[in-house]
Structure 1
């Protein structure tokens, strides 16, 4: 059951976001009502409409905050891996996995709510910032490949994002695929390695 945080600190908007996070984590982004969020925050349902027009707007704010945290983690991982382009690239992939496990409510709001990232300009900007970090990592990693053979950085980052998302969904959160015979971190690392070798970005094993 979600824990009741309550509205005690004078910031009703954030209290509602915190309440929604608990409800999303427990029930999914479509499994709660605004009334439930208000009750968890310790306010009346009418008070919610001072800040959000509906549940989708509340979920969008949760997602926006999630993307901001996600982008910060991705940027930290990228910078920590320097000066090696490969280390930075691999670190951003691991940051995706770490975020999903540490911030499940945010993750679900971002990727499982069905809301478009273009619902608000602020949400779109936060989502774009996180995506650009991985694209920058892919760009730096592939710079030594001849231009005529170099895959677009957006394509490489999209492939790694998809791989990371798949590992999270299948093996890191106890859903459809259940427990894998290997840790999710190892699955992602070896998958990235195979992919990069296929592109010629890593030497092949002898």
Structure 2
């Protein structure tokens, strides 16, 4: 192998990009640091200048994924304004769109077993992404009297879980889990049923 890694313009990012490619192909535990180095075109020793091990590399891939995810969620929220319902539903759809467009990041974030508290930076950006959905949930529930209003953090977490479940089961080609309905339609109808049950939207919405 050549030693062009010593002169690489952005070795750290090249390694993250290589890891994302390998994560998508083999899963978060299906590759070694040596494979990541080879994919990036650098020597295995060069990896340790930036990452102590594979988990550190995956954690950085997850952090970058959450940065993208938070931006996607914020854009979806802003695009749905001024309707609180449209903004909330847009954040749910954004989850699925992100999973489809950034599978390597998605796997690093949600399927690698990586704790969001592994580093302060990872925890902060994960919290930012969650905060967008909670803000949308808060907006949606303002018309309900405070003593009857469900906690925004609770029902935003439920929508996050529903979005994650639909993505995992029906939007990422999981074996044996083909649905007779489009994943987008499943998520849309599920969110609608859930919100009606909480009294957050009228029955005719």
> d(CA) in 1 for partners of 2:175 and 2:136?
30
> d(CA) in 1 for partners of 2:127 and 2:199?
28
Runs of 4+ with >4 A deviation = 6-9
Deviations 1:84-119 (A, max 9, x none): 000000000000000001100000000011111011
> d(CA) in 1 for partners of 2:82 and 2:156?
19
Q: Is the 8 A contact 1:170 1:177 kept in 2?
A: no
Which ranges of structure 2 fall in alignment gaps of 5 or more residues? none
Equivalent in the alignment of 1:29: 28
Equivalent in the alignment of 2:74: 75
Per the TM alignment, residue 176 of structure 1 is displaced from its structure 2 partner at its CA by 4.5
Which ranges of structure 1 fall in alignment gaps of 5 or more residues? 1-5
Q: Is the 8 A contact 1:171 1:177 kept in 2?
A: no
Q: Is the 8 A contact 1:64 1:123 kept in 2?
A: yes
The 5 Å alignment of 1:49-64 reads 49-64=48-63
Deviations 1:51-75 (A, max 9, x none): 0000000000000000000000000
Equivalent in the alignment of 1:165: 164
> d(CA) in 2 for partners of 1:204 and 1:83?
21
Equivalent in the alignment of 1:3: none
Per the TM alignment, residue 178 of structure 1 is displaced from its structure 2 partner at its CA by 2.5
TM-score, normalized by length of structure 1?
0.94
Per the TM alignment, residue 9 of structure 1 is displaced from its structure 2 partner at its CA by 5.7
Q: Is the 8 A contact 1:77 1:88 kept in 2?
A: yes
Deviations 1:10-50 (A, max 9, x none): 10000000000000000011111100000000111110000
> d(CA) in 1 for partners of 2:72 and 2:137?
17
The secondary structure found in structure 1 opposite 2:17 is helix
Equivalent in the alignment of 2:93: 94
> d(CA) in 2 for partners of 1:67 and 1:185?
22
Per the TM alignment, residue 204 of structure 1 is displaced from its structure 2 partner at its CA by 1.8
**Pair 1:126 & 2:125 matched:** yes
The secondary structure found in structure 2 opposite 1:50 is coil
